């Protein structure tokens, strides 16, 4: 759907090592696949944005897709959509013109496009509703899908700290609430620091309950992570939340990340609300 986040999606695929083309004419796809690709390159795959900006796309794509499937290519269709209200809001914010709104209102154009794309949506391998996604959440979802295209690649682990007052991250696979820990926010000398500081770290870990919790949770992760890898999960997000996302969750996320990193597994650390 126009306005559903295709630009964000294609950027995420590019970040994941894919060769990407936006507004790709579908009839050129077989020709592009004939071009030689260096077998030693680190290319993760190919990703193309195709939509109703190309006149005749709906009539042209079925035979093209069938042809390349018969040639042995693994083709996955990722369909992005959002509800009408959000699409209207996004077009109002960006002030861009919907490709079908030249002779009709924006509301009518969105409804027309939805009807026109129904068969393609039904054929899609994956459908993502971006209605409640911000740019960062959509990018995380796309990166998870992009990782599935890399055969025999290691599961990538993302450790994410956040604040509940700003909402739960939609892409979290495992989520732990650490608001039971003593809150440095109420300490005058610690309030303006964050969980990456040594002072806050010592405060969070100074009592036995905090250290026992961390040990038990790390033991649980040590048990779970190999099981997720066994199931060939491409991307695992471990989210740790406190009230504001600045103190307790940041400290615990850092300690979890350091523990995973010592095992040699690919991991990243993001403090969403620091």
pLDDT digits (tens, 9 = 90+) for 54-77: 989 999 999 999 999 999 998 999
> What local confidence, expressed as pLDDT, does residue 180 receive?
96
Give the model confidence (pLDDT) of 180-237 as tens digits: 999 999 999 999 999 999 999 999 999 999 999 999 999 999 999 999 887 767 789 9
**What proportion of the chain, given as a percentage, has pLDDT over 90?**
70
Mean pLDDT of the 87-103 span: 82
Report yes or no: 270 and 161 within 8 Å, Cβ to Cβ: yes
pTM of the model: 0.55
> What local confidence, expressed as pLDDT, does residue 146 receive?
85
CATH architecture for residues 6-147: 3-Layer(aba) Sandwich (3.40)
Mean pLDDT of the 83-100 span: 86
Give the confidence band of 38 by pLDDT, cuts at 50, 70, 90.
low
Measured distance CA(232)–CA(50) in Å, rounded: 29
Give the confidence band of 39 by pLDDT, cuts at 50, 70, 90.
low
* Residue 21 phi, psi (nearest 5): -135, 125
The rounded mean pLDDT for the chain is 90
Residue with the bigger pLDDT between 124 and 152: it is 124
> What local confidence, expressed as pLDDT, does residue 151 receive?
46
Measured distance CA(65)–CA(29) in Å, rounded: 9
> What local confidence, expressed as pLDDT, does residue 42 receive?
75
> What local confidence, expressed as pLDDT, does residue 69 receive?
92
**What proportion of the chain, given as a percentage, has pLDDT over 70?**
95
In the chain, what are the domain boundaries?
6-147, 156-271
Give the model confidence (pLDDT) of 237-272 as tens digits: 999 999 999 999 999 999 999 999 999 888 999 999
Mean pLDDT of the 165-181 span: 94
- pLDDT of 166 higher than 90: yes
Give the confidence band of 92 by pLDDT, cuts at 50, 70, 90.
confident
> What local confidence, expressed as pLDDT, does residue 232 receive?
64
């Amino acid at each position: 759907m126009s306005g559903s986040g295709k630009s964000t999606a294609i950027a995420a695929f590019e970040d994941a090592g894919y060769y990407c083309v936006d507004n790709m004419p579908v009839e050129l796809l077989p020709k592009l696949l004939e071009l030689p690709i260096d077998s030693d390159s680190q290319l993760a795959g190919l990703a193309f944005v195709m939509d109703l900006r190309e006149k005749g796309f709906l009539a042209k794509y079925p035979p093209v897709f069938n042809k390349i499937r018969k040639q042995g290519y693994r083709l996955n269709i990722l369909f992005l959509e959002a509800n009408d209200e959000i699409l209207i809001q996004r077009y109002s914010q960006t002030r861009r013109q919907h490709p079908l709104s030249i002779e009709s209102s924006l509301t009518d154009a969105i409804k027309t496009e939805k009807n026109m794309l129904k068969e393609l949506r039904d054929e899609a391998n994956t459908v993502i509703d971006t209605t409640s996604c911000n740019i960062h959440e959509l990018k995380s979802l796309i990166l998870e899908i992009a990782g599935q295209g890399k055969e025999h690649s290691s599961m990538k682990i993302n450790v994410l700290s956040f604040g509940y007052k700003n909402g739960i991250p939609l892409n979290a696979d495992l989520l732990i609430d650490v608001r039971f820990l003593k809150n440095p926010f109420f300490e005058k000398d610690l309030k303006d620091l964050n969980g990456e500081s040594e002072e806050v770290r010592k405060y969070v870990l100074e009592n036995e309950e905090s250290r026992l919790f961390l040990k038990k949770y790390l033991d649980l992760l040590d048990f779970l992570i190999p099981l997720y890898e066994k199931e060939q999960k491409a991307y695992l997000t471990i989210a740790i939340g406190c009230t504001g996302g600045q103190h307790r969750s940041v400290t615990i996320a850092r300690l979890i990340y350091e523990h995973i990193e010592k095992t040699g597994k690919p991991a990243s650390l993001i403090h969403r609300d620091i």
